[in-house]
Amino acid sequence: MIIKSADFICSNTQVSKLPPPVKPEYAFIGRSNVGKSSLINMLTGKKGLAKTSQTPGKTQLINHFLVNENWYIVDLPGYGYARASKTKKADWNKFIQMYLDKRESLQCVMVLIDSRLEPQKIDVEFCNWLGEKGLSFVLVFTKADKQSSLKTDQSVAKFKKALLETFDEVPQIFVTSAELHAGRDEILSFISGINQDFEIPDYKTFD
């Protein structure tokens, strides 16, 4: 897929104010600092599209970016920010779970995992939650340039193993580096394949 345009459309704190679900969309989510903004910028080829390295846990917004006037990248707030209060975490959960659970045009959740780390409980639990809800998701390992490919392979294998404790099969996996633009073609062709089959779903309007 060639990216001709990628534009910020809106930020929302309310699921009822999202753009109408008439285009396929892909939600990007992961722990704060996992490299989500960098990945979105790398995929779209727009350096400042999603802001990198904002104060973690600060932006609790659902951001919509329209790509090629045809599909949305949705930037969700990072989870698992240790210093957020319990109430904040609970709010985060409610808001994001509502979005993920109810969004008619959501095609796939892109779960970002830091390729340098051992499987993190919060990531595994989040995948399990997606599985329980029957939501499609893929794993996107980030920052692969930070260590040897052997080390990355080991992280991927460990994460797969952790998921196989609850899943019968592991979802599709992408290994990426925003620094080296690795994984870009693979993710874009994955998205392009899904976009081709998209049909506008029935949806409720809020007014």
Ligand X SMILES: Nc1nc2c(ncn2[C@@H]2O[C@H](COP(=O)(O)OP(=O)(O)O)[C@@H](O)[C@H]2O)c(=O)[nH]1
Residues forming the site for ligand X (CB under 6 A): 32-38, 52-53, 78, 142-143, 145-146, 177-179
Cα separations in angstroms, 148 against 120, 153, 199: 20, 9, 41
Residue 91: contacted member of ligand X, Mg ion, none (CB under 5 to 8 Å, by partner type) = none
Nearer to Mg ion, 34 or 162 (CB): 34
Compute CA 142 distance to the chain's CA centroid, rounded to the nearest angstrom: 11
User: With contact defined as beta carbons under 8 Å apart, do 64 and 10 qualify?
Assistant: yes
Which one of Mg ion, ligand X, none interacts with residue 177, CB within 5 to 8 A by kind? ligand X
From ligand X, Mg ion, none, interface partner of 60 (C-beta below 5 to 8 A by class): none
Residue 9 Cβ, how far from ligand X at the closest point, in Å? 18
Q: Which is nearer to ligand X, 105 or 115 (CB)?
A: 115
The half-sphere exposure of 28 on its side-chain side, counting CA atoms within 13 A, is 24
Provide the minimum distance between the beta carbon of 205 and ligand X in the complex, in angstroms, as a whole number. 32
Q: What is the CA radius of gyration of the chain?
A: 16
Shortest spacing between CB 49 and ligand X, in angstroms:
11
Chain-centre distance of CA 6, in angstroms?
Answer: 17
Mapping DSSP onto H, E and C, the string for 21-81 reads CCCCEEEEEEECCCCHHHHHHHHHCCCCCCCCCCCCCCCCCEEEEEECCCEEEEECCCECC
> Looking at 23, 26, 30, 37, which residue binds Mg ion (CB under 5 A)?
37
- Report the amino acid identity of residue 113: I
Cβ 204 to ligand X shortest distance, Å: 31
Residue 38 binding partner per list ligand X, Mg ion, none, with a CB distance cut-off of 5 to 8 Å that depends on partner kind: ligand X
- List of residues 6+ apart from 134 with CB closer than 8 A: none
In the complex, minimum distance from the CB of residue 59 to ligand X, in angstroms, rounded to a whole number: 9
* Binding partner at 1 among ligand X, Mg ion, none, C-beta below 5 to 8 Å by kind: none
Residue pair 153/188 in contact by the 8 Å Cβ criterion: no
Which C-beta is closer to Mg ion: that of 37 or that of 44?
Answer: 37
Q: What amino acid occupies position 138?
A: V
Least Cβ distance, residue 88 to ligand X (angstroms): 16
Of these partners, ligand X, Mg ion, none, which one is at the site of residue 44 (CB under 5 to 8 Å by kind)?
none
Give the residues lining the site for Mg ion (CB under 5 A).
Answer: 37
